């Protein structure tokens, strides 16, 4: 009895395998117009409406699963896009910094050639640290005495005067901004030619005052203020200044009228953006032009 | 198991509905980047429940149906599924595993055999496809996915075929208690 069952089982298996192989061989060997292909096409035509109906009926089910799948895919995609965004953000920041530096370098190059600062042997330096004070009255640069930087040398950027060197070490230097209370520079108004001196306004961060102007009424709003190139006024003497002449300091922002001529208060806005300094130049030969003029 | 018209009808309906459900719905839903394949699970479950002969016949028929409807080379799926149905039936006949997770293992093995067997036959027939890491990954993911689905598919098949299955001693005992019978302990 057992043998019969085993024989029957094996016979069924063998028959099915043989039938499968026969179908496979016959199907593979015949052309697309053969009988097996025809049976297949007919069956497909019969089943197609059932499939279509089932397809429609089961669409909500499929959509539900699709929603789960889409959600998983969307999460994966979101993570990928976030990583991409972060990478691009980093790249953008880098490019922006490089662009800004390039613009500043271009500006410095321009002021060196067109502005005539090349004669003062400018040394380009990078700002490496700033004072945590909101007024940014000092900052540190990556050039020091080994590069020829000395105390009191003027520091400029492409817009104009920035400050002067306050302290120097071998490879670094500390720069005092022109808004520092200790800062002062002999100046001249460009259009009216009035001499004076520029000092920071006490208690008003970023504001400068053009003081000691003999004919202050001649100075107009919007007039440019530049370095005089002498220690005080031209009438006293032609003493050598710390700063070469004709470096832009700022623009007259407003004028407060006083009782007397000397009571007029002339407010000057710095030409250089002191809050955004990356590259500056230290003029290590500020008296070069005076020495050249000397007999 | 005796083959009455009832059981044959149920097997036919199970195969037809299962095949259509697979083709119209399951194949179109990707999870982990691959769709599940219920066909080998159905064949393995039927074989595991009803025995090697019926499993082999069911596998052959379902394979033929899939090949026909998908306009594939006739006989490929039939051959693979015949082997799966027969093998699953022999596991039950020889080992009779009582563990609840036995269908999961059978389902996973059936999927692996189906995927590898189908690919092998396709290569033998000269279908040009590179053996790539992506193909192996797809096979692996299908096995994982089918393993997760093996138990629900087995449960559905068991429910459909339950009236025709030989009485399970454990089930018989449970029925006796719930219909007022006494447990061996209370009789003692």
Q: What is the pLDDT of residues A164-211, one digit of tens each?
A: 998 888 888 889 888 887 888 989 888 888 888 998 887 666 789 988
- Provide the pLDDT confidence category of residue A133 given band limits of 50, 70 and 90: low
Q: Which residues contact A9 (CB under 8 A, 6 or more apart)?
A: B52, B53
Q: Give chain A positions within 8 Å (CB) of B23.
A: 51
Q: Is B25 on the interface with A (CB under 8 A)?
A: yes
Query: What would the mean pLDDT of A49-70 be, rounded to a whole number?
Result: 79
What is the C-alpha to C-alpha distance for residues A117 and A176, in angstroms, rounded to an integer? 20
Within chain A, strands assigned E span 122-130, 138-141, 154-156, 161-168, 173-177, 185-189, 195-200, 208-211, 224-227, 248-256, 265-270, 279-283
Chain A contact set for B76 (CB, 8 A): 20, 24
Of A153-162, B4-13, B161-170, which range is least confident?
B161-170
Q: Which two tokens stand for residue A66?
A: 């699709």
Where are the domains positioned within chain B? Answer: 5-187
Q: Smallest CA–CA separation between A29 and chain B, in Å?
A: 10
Chain B residues with beta carbon closer than 8 angstroms to that of A40: 67-68, 71, 74
User: The CATH number of B5-187 is which of 1.20.1250, 1.10.1760, 1.20.1440, 1.10.8?
Assistant: 1.10.1760
Give pLDDT, residue A127. 86
| Residue in chain B nearest A13 by alpha carbon | B56
A106 touches chain B (CB under 8 A): no
Q: Do A150 and A168 meet the contact criterion of CB atoms below 8 Å apart?
A: yes
B73 lies within 8 A of chain A by CB: yes
- What is the percent of chain B where pLDDT is above 70? 84
Is B52's Cβ below 8 Å from some Cβ in A? yes
**DSSP assigned state of B33:** T
Digit-coded pLDDT (tens) for B67-110: 888 878 889 999 999 999 999 999 988 887 878 888 999 999 99
ipTM of the complex: 0.79
């Amino acid at each position: 009895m057992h043998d019969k069952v085993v024989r029957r089982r094996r016979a069924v298996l063998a028959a099915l395998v043989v039938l499968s192989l026969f179908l496979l061989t016959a199907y593979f060997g015949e052309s697309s117009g053969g009988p097996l292909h025809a049976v297949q096409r007919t069956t497909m035509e019969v089943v197609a409406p059932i499939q279509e109906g089932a397809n429609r009926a089961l669409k909500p089910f499929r959509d539900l699963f699709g929603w789960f799948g889409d959600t998983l895919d969307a999460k994966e995609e979101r993570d990928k896009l976030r990583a991409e965004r972060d990478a691009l953000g980093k790249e953008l920041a880098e490019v922006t910094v490089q662009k800004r530096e390039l613009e500043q370098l271009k500006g410095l190059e321009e002021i060196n050639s067109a502005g005539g600062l090349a004669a003062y042997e400018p040394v380009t330096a990078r700002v490496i640290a700033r004072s945590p004070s909101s007024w940014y009255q000092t900052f540190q640069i990556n050039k020091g005495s080994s590069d020829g930087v000395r105390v009191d040398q003027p520091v400029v950027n492409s817009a104009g005067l920035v400050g002067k060197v306050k302290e120097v070490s071998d490879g670094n230097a500390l720069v005092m901004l022109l808004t520092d209370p200790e800062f002062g520079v002999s100046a001249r108004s460009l259009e009216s030619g009035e001499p004076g001196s520029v000092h920071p306004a006490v208690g008003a961060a970023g504001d400068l005052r053009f003081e000691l102007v003999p004919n202050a009424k001649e100075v107009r709003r919007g007039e440019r203020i530049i370095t005089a190139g002498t220690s005080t006024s031209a009438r006293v003497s032609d003493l050598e200044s710390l700063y070469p002449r004709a470096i832009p300091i700022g623009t007259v922002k407003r004028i407060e009228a006083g009782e007397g001529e000397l009571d007029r208060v002339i407010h000057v806005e710095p030409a250089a953006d002191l809050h955004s300094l990356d590259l500056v130049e230290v003029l290590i030969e500020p008296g070069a032009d005076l020495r050249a003029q000397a007999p | 198991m005796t083959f009455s018209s009832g059981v044959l009808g149920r097997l036919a309906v199970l195969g037809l509905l299962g095949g259509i459900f697979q083709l119209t719905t399951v194949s179109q839903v990707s999870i982990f980047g691959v769709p599940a394949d219920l066909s080998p699970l159905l064949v393995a479950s039927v074989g595991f429940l009803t025995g090697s002969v019926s499993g082999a016949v069911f596998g052959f028929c379902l394979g033929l149906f899939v090949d026909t409807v998908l306009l594939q080379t006739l006989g490929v799926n039939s051959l693979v599924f015949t082997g799966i149905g027969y093998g699953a039936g022999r596991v039950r006949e020889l080992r009779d595993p009582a563990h609840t997770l036995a269908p999961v293992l059978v389902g996973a093995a059936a999927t692996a055999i189906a995927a590898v067997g189908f690919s092998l036959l396709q290569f033998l027939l000269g279908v040009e496809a590179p053996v790539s890491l992506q193909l192996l990954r797809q096979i692996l993911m299908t096995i994982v996915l089918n393993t997760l689905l093996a138990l629900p598919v087995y449960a559905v098949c068991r429910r459909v075929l339950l009236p025709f299955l030989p009485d399970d001693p454990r089930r018989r005992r449970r029925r006796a208690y719930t219909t007022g019978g006494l447990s061996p302990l209370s009789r003692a």
